Structure 1
């Protein structure tokens, strides 16, 4: 059976995640009967999968070297560079490059079972529809050179609420496109690794060099967020009209 130190070292070297010892002990205890002859590298992969689906406040180390400064949100600090690798989880994502009404309409198109192809709105495949007719529509779209684009993809830039292992919250703003950060792909609870990020006026500036998406999702948080997203957007439009 692999030792906790071996697994922790594998996770740190592959993902730069410093795992919490109590969480790791619980993980090894839960897998002790089924993973006795599994090499440390394979066991570490299973642990990483569980980590990415966990709340990092419980699963990762709270050491100051891998958490945000407690005063990270100070708006009077014009700019500073944080040192090292700091894992965070996403609690909210907002497309600040697309109007609120466009986002609401995109959600409603999905609710109606529609998608955008080029400049046309077409019905997507639904239960009970003629599959041949749907296939014919797809072939026609391909022939005319139009590409399928989800109305909810959002080109950004994006504004995120991020949380570290100590529970510190900070706003992250996408200054350059970061692979995987879209409303369509990014789940609530997904993990980002911040690497020597710049913080300006209390906001983390996200670029491909300073932020890497590790993946993951906290299922319960993601469902609540998605179920309530349309209502939150409608509330914002109402507030903007006051």
Structure 2
């Protein structure tokens, strides 16, 4: 039977994740006996990526955010890492709030956008390609919204959390494949190396960010279900502020 040390070493070597020995011992205690080390390691990694890293990962100073990472008084600094983090929130800051609400509502109605037409998708038997075209609307060219109600154009603003629980705001400085509202679930893990932090914000680019995958189901589902309400609340708040200032 594989030992916790073997599995920990393989996960550290392949993903730079330092798994907690107590978490691994608990995992092994609930696993089947006589399973190959490679299979156990894959299962352990899958569960780590689906876990809260505050429970599954061991910590040391180099694998954590500085405690004052959000200090806007610090003009710029580099955090060497590697620092594993999990995504607590993601926002498309390149698309207006109201456009995002409208995209979600189109998805709720079973509609998508194709060029200048609104298309209502219908399933006929097993034919998933059947579609009923609605009236043409002068809305301009747009990408079809995803199930999350966004074209995923970005750039994106994320809330990241390290294994100690420290949170930081991150901004996508260039497009990173896999970072979008329909591809990046809440609880997904990202590994940061040599990331720049400016005025309290982590600047994400392809050189410092490695997407490891994963999802925390208990966080992802309610986040998706409550997204429209949060967007509407922000729109109302902005309207109230505008009325007060006027």
TM-score with structure 1 length normalisation?
Answer: 0.89
- Number of the residue aligned with 2:177: 179
**2:11–2:18 contact (8 Å) kept in structure 1:** yes
Q: SS of the counterpart of 1:226?
A: helix
Q: Counterparts in 2 of 1:60-139, with a 5 A limit?
A: 60-126=57-123, 129=124, 135=130
Q: CA deviation at 1:239?
A: 1.1
Aligned to 1:143: none
> Which secondary structure state, in structure 1, belongs to the residue aligned with residue 30 of structure 2?
helix
Secondary structure at the aligned position of 2:226 is classed as helix
The whole-number CA distance in structure 1 between the counterparts of 2:55 and 2:231 is: 31
**Contact 1:192 / 1:211 at 8 angstroms: preserved in 2?**
yes
Q: 5+ unaligned residues in a row in structure 1: which ranges?
A: 139-145
Distance 1:133 1:14 in 2: 39
CA distance 1:133–1:69, shift in 2 (3 Å): closer
Aligned residues: 230
For 2:23, the equivalent position in structure 1 comes to 23
Aligned to 2:244: none
* Residues 25-44 of structure 1 aligned to structure 2 (within 5 Å): 25-31=25-31, 34=32, 36-44=33-41
* 1:194 aligned onto 2:189: no
Distance in 2 between residues matched to 1:239 and 1:154, nearest whole Å: 24
Partner of 1:142: none
Cα pair distance change 1:3/1:158, threshold 3 Å: same
For 2:66, what is the secondary structure of its paired residue? coil
Q: Distance in 2 between matches of 1:191 and 1:125?
A: 35
Instruction: Measure how far apart 1:124 and its partner are.
Output: 1.7
Match of 1:170 in 2: 168
Question: Which residue of the partner structure matches residue 212 of structure 2?
Answer: 214
Asked if the contact 2:187/2:214 (under 8 Å) is kept, the reply is: yes
> Which structure has the highest helix share of the two?
1
Q: Note the residue ranges of structure 2 that are not aligned, 5 or more in a row.
A: 134-140, 241-246
Q: What TM-score do you get using the length of structure 2 for normalisation?
A: 0.88
